Structure 1
Amino acid sequence: MRRSLPTRVGVAGGVLGLLLTTAACGGDSGGGGGGQAAEEGTTREDGPVALRMSWWGSDTRHAATQQLIELYQSQNEGVTVEGDFTGFADYFDRLATSTAGGDGPCVQQQDTRYVREYADRNALLDLTPYIEDGTIDTSNLDEAVATTGQVEDATYAIPTGVNAFTLVVDPQAYAAAGVPVPDDSSWTWDEMVQTAAQVTQATGGQVYGMQAMGLNGGDTNFEVYAREHGEALFDEDGQIGFTEETLVDWWNIEKEASESGAEPEPSTTVEVFNGGVDQALVATGRGASGFWWTNELPALTAGAGRELQFMQFPTEEGNGETGMYLKPAMFWAISSDCESPKEAALLINWLINSEDAVEIVKADRGLPVNTELREQIAPTLDAPGQAAVAFVEEITPDLQDPPALPPQGAGEVQAIMQRYTEQILFDQISVEDAASQFMSEVQSAIA
């Protein structure tokens, strides 16, 4: 049984503050906090420029990003882009270490959980000057997420695209089990678990009804649940925004899913989680559903070899207000260590505003954040991409606004959530004790 991923993610969150504090104390090269104008640094006019660009993701994303790099280099003589790819499990641990050493990648894929942390510690460049002078054109960015990379009055990150965290289901798995796919316009959390258990039972455990919701994106899953109840993971002031009772209720749903057979036994659950998107139950034909981001559908479909579809989150009574929201799939940011920030900004602008770039990436980093290009490429997307466009368009009118960037230390929440979810599944702790200890640890992390 592999249990390494939660440990590695926890390392990334736990040492991040220490590493970045050490890095920030080494000098004043950071661009954070004050909205200071950035120097252009070395540009192609001065001679050959080399940029390091880092990202995480599936093999599909890796291949597409390599294509992007090759195309950009062919269109921009004198600029070389070095790819720095790793899986999500190691990404932020590696990024924190390189940043502490003054060697952060010039252009880096960032996540909502960490943008404020890096910005507040002067590890990211303020992109405002490049936006104001037009180097990075934000005029066509989706208004729902265009400013989600801001900390106070400074912009530290540009969204790559938009997506939503939702349920991905395999209709053929339901059909083979003789279980109807629920109506997601009116279904409840109880119905989700009961239906999933029926799938597992009908197939003799050959196909599980659902993948554990508290591990893969567990913090986001709970955030949606909390927002359904008028609460939040963090409020606008960066404080804990949910009650212990709400967390207990959510974890009890997970516990019921495990005990009823709706999801695999705990050891298999952890092994599947550690395998990432490529080993997801719906991607390997071993499951009927799981919670994933809309931009992950192409990779899931490629693994499954058949059509998968989206469903909206259930609600408590089946007709309540959804807690779902559009989120930046991820961000592009520039390290304050970058010696060629102007060139890095030009690369980011190309990544979000170039038709050539969008045609390569499609919807892998979320539906294109440039709304004009999104509309333009929608008919050219493969079936999963078109399904994502249609789903997002369908649900957008009912969605809540995206939350503000979480506070420093929020990057640890995912690992804390995973650890307590595992302990609950293995009967090592009660749900009530887990909820109490979780809230204490999160409070300490963001203090």
Structure 2
Amino acid sequence: MTIRIDRRHFLMGSTALLAAGAAGAMPAWAQDTRMRLFFWGGQDRADRTYGVSDLYAAGNPGVAIDGEVLPWGDYWPKLATQTAGGNAPDIIQMDYRFIVEYAKRNAIAPLDDFVGGTLTLDDFDADQLEGGKVDGKLYGISLGANSVAMMVNTAAFEEAGVEPPNRDTTYDDLRAMGEAFKSANIRGGMKVIADGSGTEPMLDNWIRQRGKSLYTPEGKLGLDADDMTEWFQLWAGMRADGICVDAETQALDTNGPLENTMIALGKAAMIPSNSNQLVAHQAINKDPLTVSSYPRIAAGVGGGHYRKPSMFFSIGGSGANKEAAASFISFFVNNPDAGKILGVERGIPCSAAVREAIAPTLDDKSQVALDFVANLGDLLGPLPASPPAAAGEIDVSLLRTMSQEVAFGARTPEDAGPAFVQGATEILERAS
């Protein structure tokens, strides 16, 4: 098998020394079966993914996989162009907020016909299977369970003389930490936290703690103008008081490579992230990192977190190799040796057998991520309904833009709150 990799971004990972027998018995595909695998991520994810591709190749010499990886911000425009043109990749890494949109326009294919045959899901976590369903049909196979989490630079907290956050930390505590960072003035004025006002998962967590939801099961907006005004006021206050980074600094983070995040650039000691990203962030940061929960809105208030499918593999709706793609996905999520290569970089494996196989092999950071997701306690709430088809547009084109407008002074929080609700409602109505 020859794997051809788009090298504009990352080089192919290699596990060529793995024995062919480790792949297990796999279907024999035609010699000319060539599939395209498209995913977002960093170098560490690329190396792990291509390592599993190599392992799969050992048992399937007739299959060729062309892999391409892009940063998050570049990934979605290219995928949208390809699927709209009927040129979808065979295997597509899919996100929870976009799966409804892609399923409803047939850009990804239902997988139900493969389950129990080519696609084995016998010991898969039930909640993770449900997360990949749209209108009762299975469109995505979860590649791991994770939760939102704060990425925390423990060395920076030590230098500032501040205890790192823990599962009981509130937004008021965060303010107190920020004041201590200001007084300590470490590393040229590092702030305690990045600006999270344009981070959809952080807004989602905050509103869930208030007993609401970002979106209702019917696909409507679950918050109101007062909620959004208060959200923008919260961050405007932290920005004005120097608790979080300023607008110009936050603008350096383009939602692309992890190297541009505030924690990698040394501008903030914490950023909103996901538990599975600890491995990737640690790979590019010299300081020791850990994860903690998002802040509570008040002491004792929980329910904001949930065990979310970190991402899915879906099959392109226009692809000619759907059964071969299903076979690769089944191998990716079920093979113990593949699981050892992947670790928990994409989240906690959803197969009980794979979890058992990899547990003794995990490094310290991977174990931290696993323990975090397994011990959320009262922070954990139910998995929300899949976001509506327009959720991605609201996140990228509205929330992020409006948060920057508030940060740079082009809007006040009092103006932005109603404007966000009106804009989001119009986007949802257009998409329905």
Does TM, normalized by the shorter one, top 0.5?
yes
Report % sequence identity. Answer: 28
1:113 partner SS: coil
Aligned mate of 1:194, from 176, 186, 210? 176
Q: Distance in 2 between matches of 1:285 and 1:378?
A: 32
Question: 1:82 offset after TM fit, Å?
Answer: 0.5
In 2: Cα distance, 1:201 partner to 1:266 partner: 21
Cα distance in structure 2, aligned partners of 1:196 and 1:357: 42
Distance 1:110 1:100, change over 3 A: same
Aligned counterparts of 2:86 and 2:255: Cα–Cα separation in 1: 30
In the alignment, residue 85 of structure 2 is paired with which amino acid?
Answer: G
Match of 2:92 among 82, 85, 108: 108
| 1:123 aligned onto 2:107 | yes
Aligned to 1:441: 423
Q: Deviations over 1:357-415 (max 9, x none)?
A: 11111111111121321232123112111001111111156411111111111111211
Partner of 1:37: none
> How much does 1:87 deviate?
1.2
Give the paired residue count: 401
Deviates more, 1:192-201 or 1:250-259: 192-201
Worse overlay, 261-270 or 271-280: 271-280
Aligned AA for 1:211?
A: A
Question: Residue 244 in 1 paired to residue 244 in 2?
Answer: no
| Structure 2 residue 35 is matched with structure 1 residue 51 | yes
Partner of 1:17: none
Distance 1:274 1:330 in 2: 17
Residue number in structure 2 paired with 1:407:
388
Higher helix share: 1
Q: Is the 8 A contact 1:219 1:413 kept in 2?
A: no
1:388 partnered with 2:384? no
Q: Distance in 2 between matches of 1:184 and 1:418?
A: 27
* C-alpha distance in 2 between matches for 1:136 and 1:397: 35
Once the 2 structures are TM-superposed, how far is the Cα of residue 254 of structure 1 from its aligned partner? Answer: 1.2
Structure 2 matches for 1:204-219, cutoff 5 A?
205-215=188-198, 218-219=199-200
Deviates more, 1:307-316 or 1:200-209: 200-209
Give the corresponding residue for 2:157: 174
Number of the residue aligned with 2:341: 360
Measured in 1, the distance between the counterparts of 2:256 and 2:363 equals 25
* 1:156 pairs with 2:139: yes
Where in structure 1 are there 5+ consecutive unaligned residues?
1-42
Equivalents in 1 of 2:324, 2:149: separation in Å? 36
The alignment status of 1:145 with 2:112, answered yes or no, reads: no
2:126 match: secondary structure: coil
**CA distance, structure 2, for counterparts of residue 269 and residue 164 of structure 1:** 23
Structure 2: how far apart are the matches of 1:275 and 1:343?
31
How many Å apart are 1:219 and its aligned residue?
A: 1.1
Q: Distance in 2 between matches of 1:169 and 1:85?
A: 26
Structure 1 residues 123 and 258: CA distance shift in structure 2, 3 A:
same
SS at match of 1:168: strand
Measure the CA separation in 2 of the matches of 1:146 and 1:394: 21
- Asked if the contact 1:231–1:242 (Cα under 8 Å) also holds between the matched residues in 2, the reply is yes
Shift of residue 332, structure 1, vs aligned partner: 0.5
SS in 1 for 2:34: strand
Q: Is the 8 A contact 2:215 2:387 kept in 1?
A: yes
Identify which range, 47-56 or 174-183, moves more after superposition.
174-183
In the alignment, what sits opposite 1:38?
A: none
The normalised TM-score by structure 1 is: 0.86
Cα distance between partner residues in 2 of 1:116 and 1:155 = 11
Listed one character per residue, the Cα deviations across residues 49-108 of structure 1 (whole Å, up to 9, x for unaligned) are: 000010001121112222222222222110000002111111111111111111100000
Q: Distance in 2 between matches of 1:274 and 1:201?
A: 30
Q: Aligned letter for 1:65? A: T
Structure 1: which amino acid aligns with 2:157?
Answer: Y
Match of 1:76 among 45, 60, 69: 60
Contact residue 193 and residue 256 of structure 1 kept, 8 A: no
CA RMSD of aligned residues (A): 1.7
Structure 2 spans left out of the alignment, 5+ residues: 1-26
**Superposed CA offset, 1:341-367 (max 9, x none):** 110000000111011211111111111
Which residue number in structure 1 is paired with residue 263 of structure 2?
Answer: 282
Q: Do structure 1's residue 324 and structure 2's residue 308 form an aligned pair? A: no
